C-alpha cells in the first residue's frame, strides 16, 4: 500500500474515535478529503518543481506511534538552549513529555494543543484562530486531518514573556519508520513580546518524516522572534508549513538555520493585514552529501506602509541541492511598501546545485521592491588578502564561508542561541579557530 | 634579504614588469616611486605571491631561497607582509578574530602551539595602543565601512601583530590625512629594526618625510630606471617624472 492510501485508511480508523459534534471534526473531514483528492505534491506542480518527495514517501511509516518511550534528560540536554531559563514543550515520537517540559498557565498559556482542543475554556481562541491561517493545500490539509498534538501558546495583551520558549520534537527510533504531524497554534496578543525556538531532532538513524503546521497570529504592535533549527540526522525529513498573520504595527522575524536532515521543505508565509507591519525572513543553509533544502517563502502585503526583508544565504558542498523560491505579492491597496529580497549562494563543489526563483507580483504603483540573487564561488581578492596574512587556502576558504553565513546572525537576539549557532556553523564548515563570540 | 633579478611579470597577455632588479638588505628602507601604471602595485603583488600575476622570467629570492613557486601564505610564513592599497572588506569576521587566526596559522606553520589567549590579548592591546586604535574598532567586521584612514591603520596594526621581516607598504599614504599619516608613520618607525626591511611604494614624497628611506627607486614602464638617496624623492616632487623619461631617451 502506498503512503497516501495508508494515510487515508488510517484516517478512517482514527475518525471512529473522534467525537462527532466537535467543530474540529468537521475541519478534519474536509482536510482529509482535500488530501485524498490531491495527494502528495509532485514535481509537476510549479511550487514543487525542484523538490521531489519520492525518496521519502516510499517508506512504511508508523502513523500512530505504539507508545511513549522515555528519554533521559542527560541524553538530550545538548539540544536544549537552556536547562532552566526557558519554557519547554517537548514531544517524543509525537507524544507530549511531561517530564522534559516546562509549561505554564500563570498569566499566559504555554501548553498542549490537545488540551486546548478539548477543554471548553480555550474554545473561544480555538474558534477564532484554529486552522484560520494554515494553507488549504494538500500537504497542510494532511496535517489538519491528523493533528492531535503540538504547542499551544497564547500570550495576552501587553505581556512580555521573560524567557524564550523551546518547542522540541524528538524521535527515538522506537518505530522502524515514523511519520509525525505536529501542529502548533501561537497567538501573540496586542503589544505582547515573545521569542520561540523550534527544533525537530531525530535520535537515531531510523527514517522520520515530519509534516508540521504552525499557525501564528501577531496582533497589533506584537513582537515575535522565531528561530527554526533544522540540523537533523541523515534520514530525517521535514516539511514545515508556517503561516504568520500580522496586524497593524506588528513586527515578526523568522530565522531558519537549515544545516542538516535528508530533505527539508520550508513553506513560510507572511500575511500582512494592517499598516506599518514589519516582516523579516532570514536563513542560513549549509548542506553537504545529498542533502536538500527548499525555501518556499511568501510575503503578502495587503496593507500600506509596511516593510519586508528577506535575506537567505546558502553554502552547498558535495552533491547537495538547494532551492530558493521567494514570492512577494503587493496588493493594489498596499501603497508605500518596502520589500527587499536577497539570496546569495556559494557552490563549494561542482556537483552542488541551487535553483533560485524570485517572484514579484506588484499591483500597487508606489512601492519600493528589490531582489537580488547570486550564485558564485569565492572572491579571489578576499582569498589573496587572507592568504597574504599567512592563512592557508583551505582555512581562508573556511573563514570566508563562515563570514558569509555569519552576517545573518547579526539579528539573532538571544546571545546564547547566537553562540550555539555560531559554533554549529563553524563546525559545519570546519573552521577550527578559537572564536570568542 | 630580498633579491629580485630580471623580473618579468604580467596578467594574461599584458606585460607589466619588464626586467626589474632590486636588492634589499636587513635594516634598509627602500622607496619605490613612479607614475600611475608604471607597475608599482604589480611588483608588490608579485613579491607577496598574488596568483593573478604570472611571472614569465627572472626570479625573486627571499632569505636566499627562490620563492617564485610559493603560495602567498607560505611567503607570509617566511616573513613577507603586504599592506594593501585597497584592503578587502570581509563582513562577518571581526578584526580581532581575523588577526588571531592569522597569528595562530603563522605559529602553526612554525610548529608552535596556538598563542595563549592572555598573551594574545596583551599583544593586541599593546599594538592597538601603538597605532592609537580604539578597542571598539577591533570588534568591528574587517574593513567593513572603515574610512580610508581606518583601513590603512588596520593594515599597519596587522603588520605590528605579525612582525614581518619584510613589509611592503603599497600606497599606505593614499587616503590619509596628515594626523593619520603621522600615526601610521610613527607606527612603522617603531617597528623598524636592524633585522627587518621596508619597501614603501608611493606617489608622493610626503610620506617619506616621516618614513625616511635609505634608497629611492624610480619605476617607469616596468623597469627601475633610476636609483638614488632620499634627495631623489625631493627632486621628483619638484620636477615630476618627465625629466627622467627625457634622460632615458637621450
Query: What ipTM describes this predicted complex?
Result: 0.95
pLDDT interval class at A15 (50, 70, 90): confident
* CB-CB under 8 Å, A384 with B72: yes
Of A379, A389, A433, the CB nearest to B97: A433
Q: Which residue has the higher pLDDT, A21 or A238?
A: A238
pLDDT band with cut points at 50, 70 and 90 for residue A436? very low
* Domain boundary assignment for chain B: 2-249
Q: What whole-number distance in Å separates Cα of residue B207 and Cα of residue B83?
A: 15
Chain A from 378 to 397: CB within 8 A of any B CB = 379-382, 384-393, 395-396
Domain boundaries of chain A, sorted by first residue: 3-273, 383-437
Strand A321-330, strand A278-287: pairing: unpaired
Segment A330-344 shows an average pLDDT of 96
C-alpha cell of residue A129: 484562530
Shortest Cα–Cα distance, A196 to chain B (Å): 25
Contact status, residue B24 vs residue B2, Cβ threshold 8 Å: yes
pLDDT at residue B91 in the model? 87
Q: Which chain B residue lies closest to A436 (C-alpha atoms)?
A: B97
Q: How far apart are CA B206 and CA A250, in angstroms?
A: 57
Distance from CA of B180 to the nearest CA of A (A): 23
3-state SS, residue A144: helix
CB contact under 8 A, A399 and B101: yes
pLDDT digits (tens, 9 = 90+) for B37-47: 899 999 999 99
Q: Is B72 exposed, middle or buried (0-12, 13-18, 19+ CB in 10 A)?
A: buried
Predicted pLDDT of residue A66: 76
CA distance B127 to B133: 8
Does residue B73 have a pLDDT over 90? yes
* Cα angle value A169/A118/A239 (rounded, 5°): 30
Task: For residue A326, count CB atoms less than 10 angstroms from its CB and return exposed for 0-12, middle for 13-18, buried for 19 or more.
Answer: buried
Q: Do A389 and B98 touch (CB under 8 A)?
A: yes
A43's grid cell: 514535481
| pLDDT mean over A181-208 | 97
Tell me the pLDDT tens digit for each residue of B107-143.
Answer: 999 999 999 999 999 999 999 998 888 888 898 989 9
Going by pLDDT thresholds of 50, 70 and 90, the confidence category of residue A431 is low
Distance from CA of A224 to the nearest CA of B (A): 25
Percent of chain A with pLDDT strictly greater than 90:
81
| Residue range B211-241, pLDDT digits in tens | 999 999 999 999 998 899 988 888 888 888 8
What confidence category does residue A242 fall into, taking pLDDT thresholds of 50, 70 and 90?
very high
Evaluate whether A243 touches A272 at the Cβ level (below 8 Å).
Answer: no
Partners of residue A433 in chain B, C-beta under 8 Å: 97, 100-101, 104
B2-249 in CATH: which number?
3.40.50.300
CB contact under 8 A, A385 and B90: yes
Amino acid at each position: 500500500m502506498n503512503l497516501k492510501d495508508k494515510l487515508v485508511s488510517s484516517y478512517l480508523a482514527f475518525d471512529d474515535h473522534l467525537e462527532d459534534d466537535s467543530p474540529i471534526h468537521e475541519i478534519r473531514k474536509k482536510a482529509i478529503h482535500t488530501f485524498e483528492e490531491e495527494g502528495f505534491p509532485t514535481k509537476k506542480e510549479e511550487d514543487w518543481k525542484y523538490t521531489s518527495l519520492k525518496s521519502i514517501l516510499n517508506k512504511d511509516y508508523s502513523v500512530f506511534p505504539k507508545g511513549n518511550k522515555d528519554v533521559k534528560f542527560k541524553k538530550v540536554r545538548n539540544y536544549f538552549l537552556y536547562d532552566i531559563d526557558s519554557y519547554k514543550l517537548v514531544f517524543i515520537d509525537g507524544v507530549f513529555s511531561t517530564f522534559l517540559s516546562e509549561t505554564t498557565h500563570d498569566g499566559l498559556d504555554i501548553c498542549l494543543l490537545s488540551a486546548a482542543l478539548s477543554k471548553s475554556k480555550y474554545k473561544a481562541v480555538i474558534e477564532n484562530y484554529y486552522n484560520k491561517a494554515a494553507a488549504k493545500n494538500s500537504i497542510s490539509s494532511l496535517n489538519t486531518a491528523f493533528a492531535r498534538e503540538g504547542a499551544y501558546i497564547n500570550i495576552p495583551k501587553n505581556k512580555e514573556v521573560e524567557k524564550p520558549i523551546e518547542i522540541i520534537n524528538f524521535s527515538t527510533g522506537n518505530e522502524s519508520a515514523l511519520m509525525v504531524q505536529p501542529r502548533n497554534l501561537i497567538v501573540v496578543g496586542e503589544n505582547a513580546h515573545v521569542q520561540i525556538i523550534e527544533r525537530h531532532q531525530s535520535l537515531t538513524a531510523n527514517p522520520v518524516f515530519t509534516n508540521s503546521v504552525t499557525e501564528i497570529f501577531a496582533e497589533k504592535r506584537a513582537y515575535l522572534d522565531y528561530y527554526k533549527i533544522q540540523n537533523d540526522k541523515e534520514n530525517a525529513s521535514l516539511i514545515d508549513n508556517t503561516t504568520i498573520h500580522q496586524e497593524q504595527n506588528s513586527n515578526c522575524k523568522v530565522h531558519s538555520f537549515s544545516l542538516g536532515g535528508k530533505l527539508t521543505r520550508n513553506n513560510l508565509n507572511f500575511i500582512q493585514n494592517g499598516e506599518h507591519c514589519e516582516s523579516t525572513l532570514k536563513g542560513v543553509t549549509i548542506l553537504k552529501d545529498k542533502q536538500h533544502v527548499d525555501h518556499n517563502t511568501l510575503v503578502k502585503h495587503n496593507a500600506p506602509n509596511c516593510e519586508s526583508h528577506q535575506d537567505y544565504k546558502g553554502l552547498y558542498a558535495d552533491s547537495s541541492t538547494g532551492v530558493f523560491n521567494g514570492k512577494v505579492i503587493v496588493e493594489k491597496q498596499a501603497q508605500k511598501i518596502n520589500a527587499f529580497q536577497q539570496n546569495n549562494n556559494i557552490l563549494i563543489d561542482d556537483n552542488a546545485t541551487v535553483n533560485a526563483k524570485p517572484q514579484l507580483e506588484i499591483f500597487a504603483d508606489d512601492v519600493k521592491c528589490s531582489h537580488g540573487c547570486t550564485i558564485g564561488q569565492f572572491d579571489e581578492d578576499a582569498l589573496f588578502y587572507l592568504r597574504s596574512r599567512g592563512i592557508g587556502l583551505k582555512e581562508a576558504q573556511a573563514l570566508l564561508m563562515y563570514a558569509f553565513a555569519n552576517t545573518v546572525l547579526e539579528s539573532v537576539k538571544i546571545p546564547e542561541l547566537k553562540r550555539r549557532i555560531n559554533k554549529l556553523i563553524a563546525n559545519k564548515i570546519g573552521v577550527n579557530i578559537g572564536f570568542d563570540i | 634579504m630580498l633579491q629580485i633579478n630580471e623580473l618579468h611579470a604580467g596578467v594574461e597577455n599584458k606585460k607589466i614588469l619588464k626586467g626589474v632588479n632590486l636588492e634589499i638588505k636587513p635594516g634598509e628602507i627602500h622607496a619605490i616611486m613612479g607614475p600611475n601604471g608604471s607597475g608599482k602595485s604589480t611588483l608588490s603583488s608579485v613579491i607577496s605571491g598574488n596568483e593573478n600575476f604570472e611571472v614569465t622570467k627572472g626570479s625573486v629570492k627571499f632569505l636566499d631561497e627562490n620563492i617564485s613557486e610559493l603560495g602567498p601564505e607560505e611567503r607570509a610564513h617566511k616573513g613577507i607582509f603586504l599592506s594593501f592599497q585597497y584592503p578587502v572588506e570581509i563582513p562577518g569576521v571581526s578584526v580581532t578574530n581575523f588577526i588571531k587566526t592569522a597569528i595562530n596559522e603563522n605559529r602553526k606553520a612554525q610548529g608552535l602551539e596556538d598563542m595563549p589567549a592572555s598573551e594574545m590579548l596583551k599583544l593586541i592591546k599593546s599594538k592597538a595602543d601603538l597605532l592609537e586604535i580604539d578597542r571598539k574598532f577591533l570588534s568591528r567586521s574587517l574593513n567593513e565601512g572603515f574610512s580610508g584612514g581606518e583601513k590603512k591603520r588596520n593594515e599597519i596594526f596587522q603588520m605590528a601583530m605579525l612582525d614581518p621581516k619584510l613589509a611592503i607598504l603599497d600606497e599606505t599614504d593614499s587616503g590619509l590625512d596628515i594626523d593619520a599619516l603621522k600615526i601610521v608613520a610613527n607606527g612603522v618607525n617603531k617597528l623598524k629594526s636592524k633585522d627587518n626591511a621596508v619597501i614603501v611604494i608611493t606617489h608622493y614624497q610626503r610620506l617619506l618625510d616621516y618614513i625616511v628611506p635609505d634608497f629611492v627607486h624610480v619605476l617607469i614602464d616596468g623597469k627601475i630606471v633610476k636609483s638614488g638617496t632620499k634627495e631623489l624623492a625631493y627632486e621628483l616632487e619638484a620636477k615630476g617624472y618627465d625629466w627622467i623619461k627625457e634622460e632615458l631617451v637621450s
